[in-house]
Structure 1
Amino acid sequence: MRVGLPQELTHIEWIEELKTGLSYLIPDIEWIHTPSVKDRQPLFPGTDACFPFKKMVRTSLNLSSRVDLLFIPRAVSLDGYLMCPNFRALPDIVSINIKRMDKDKTVPVISPLMEIRNRRQLDSLIKKTAKELISGYGLHGSENILYGKDEQNVKYQRDISHSIALIGHPYLLEDKRLNNGAPEILKNYDFRTISSTELPFRELNRLASSYDFYAKKMYWRPGREILGAFLYFTRIRRPAGIIQLVAFNCGIEALLRIELMSLYRQMKNPPPYMVIVCDEHVQREHVVTRIEAFLDIINGFSIK
């Protein structure tokens, strides 16, 4: 059975783990993540949602014509911290727009509720979801053999003093369309990068817990991840520079980027820091110009 899972969601750690566990239990699943170029669908742009969320909706709609069912987890909270409310509504928005495009089209949307604090809860969700897929959609497998994976606690050890640290939402860091090609541009100038996705959330969460955000607890999971990464690269392992990739119209980052800039100004001799807002423009010239200027600052970098 062909099951569609938007590629943007696979960059979120727990969702990727959920997918891997289901693949282990139900080998019949053929995962489809990216739509065909020719299967473009209207986006319904009249919304205040962020660019990545609109792309997730677009990918889901495109996949609906190529799969037997869509698998879109309803991510409410991960590691005990809240996700953006848009993730809670994503399955419903996709379902409504599928009917809006074609009233005769019936593509089931499976949306398991994700309120995950630890590996045990994830294993329980994998088992429950596998049982639903086997009993409801004729897939063959076993919901009794739990997928097991040891938690990784490996710290990145290579020298990053000449690398650029990239921080931001994981789907923004990993999707070249969402990040306007920033990692690729840095590579073209012979700069290696290190991403916050390469660091364990446990470490990022510990660092975020050491800092009061407006005198209250940061309850957004993505916010804690970004804040922790910023503190990691400014206090623990110093890179040549830090670039924060921000999604246009992201409410969480609208507040967080102001707080990080305020925190940055209080630091003594921090590494160079820049914010790049990633939006729906397909041209990269504006991103190239900003990165070139940023690299000029770093170690007297000379543009070739």
Structure 2
Amino acid sequence: MKSFITCSLFLVCVAGFSQKNHAAAQLIAQADDSEKSIQKHTATTTPDLKTAKDDELLLAAKNADSETKIAIATELVERKSPKTEQLFRDFLEDNRTVIQKLGSISYETTSAAELFSAVARQKEKAERKKYYEKTNSKNVQNELKGLFGRDYSTKWTVAECDAFLPKLTAMALAKNEVHPQTLNQIFETLQYKSKNYERIKFFARKYASEELLATLARFKNPSDVTFLKEQKEKSYLAISYFPDAGFFGTLKEASPSFYTNQDYQNAVCAYKTAQSKALLDTMCDSIFSNQKDKTQRDDALFQLYGLIEKQNFKPYASVLKKIDALMAKR
């Protein structure tokens, strides 16, 4: 029984870490150190957070540093406080960034982005709790609750989160000056989905971050192809959602430099054409020829294998067989 619980906990943690790890890499890569006001964050929570009233916490957040703002946001979201919306509105005015740590990974964020993520986590908790209630006995549920602690239960329902997250997103998009890290984290959390094309286009052209470019690409507007092509490697994530024929020549030219880049590989896979199949074959050969260390070579081939397999495109089957054969070689 305990092994099952430990395994469940491990899988949940790994899934969360993997997603956040990707976000960290994207955020750090875009950082411009000369224009930031960064504060080091340490995950501490004072007893006052537990005893203070909502209004007191809202007032305290106005003049707090970023780490305290995030702690207050986490507390109010956990309470499902009606003050959460106002707190987010206030946070949008704060352009300071803060360094957070997740395990050994450091990533840059904002107080508004962390509040948004805190609400998204409530949805994850609600979905997970619902799953455990359906699949486990009361005794197992109690053990899981003991292991997860505060992360097991939530006052939010999935429907409430689904209604509140778009409201927060709309608040951010309504402003002309929003920190790009806030928008990046919002739309990565939303899997680069939005219904507000004009505002996404505005911010994508303003900041040209990978997350905003990907969100713009999901509208699949042909008029954006030229702009996205101009962003070069920053557009690879976007192309994976909008594999327009106009991008393919650029991808082919970039293969010698980016054949091991995961976003680049995903962009090529997304085409599902004879041309993309041929390019994937070439990428396999490049990995095998240029990665001399077998462990690193196999890791690179395995990464590409997983991306190809996800496309569920039968003509790619021969590429998968080729990867199997290459990995079997010494």
Q: TM-score normalised to the size of structure 2? A: 0.25
Rg larger for: 2
More strand by share: 1
More helix by share: 2
Q: TM-score normalised to the size of structure 1? A: 0.26
